[in-house]
Amino acid sequence: MTVTELTTISNPEYLFEFIEEQSDESVYTILPNISVSKTRYDEFTITDGTDLDFPIDGFYTYNVYEQSSGSGNLDPIGLTIVETGRAYVYIDDVDANEYNDTTETNIVYES
């Protein structure tokens, strides 16, 4: 990501909004920027079930908003978007399949 390029406030925190593309259901979280080279790129780590709960697997539109550090605000109204994109959330059962014979298969069809 490159949120720093469009950030207009000093010492921001970033609110992430993920909008599921079929249901329009939104989930929100605040993530720390863990990049060691913010002039080149911004790096964030997100864990489903810890940082937030994605309602279903699939495609999400995401918006990243800047806000004052420490605000803890999860409402994007009135905030400035610094990046928009698309993400695909899927189940990664690689470790689980080492211990049993079941395999989960997800098929995506886009016309």
Instruction: Enumerate the H helices of the chain as residue ranges.
Output: 94-97
Q: Is residue 60 part of a domain?
A: yes
Instruction: Specify if 109 maps to a domain.
Output: no
Q: Identify whether 46 is part of a domain.
A: yes
* Confidence category of residue 109, pLDDT binned at 50, 70, 90: very low
Which domain covers residue 12, as residue numbers?
A: 3-97
d(CA 45, CA 49): 13
CA distance to 49, 82, 84, per residue, from 12 (Å): 24, 11, 17
Let me know: does 68 contact 9? Beta carbons within 8 Å: yes
pLDDT tens readout for residues 35-72: 999 889 999 999 888 999 999 999 999 999 999 999 99
Any domain includes 86: yes
From CA 43, how far away is CA 35, in angstroms rounded?
A: 5
pLDDT (tens digit per residue) in 73-108: 999 999 999 999 999 998 776 555 555 555 555 545
- Count how many domains the chain has: 1
- Predicted model pTM: 0.81
CB 84 within 8 A of CB 53: no
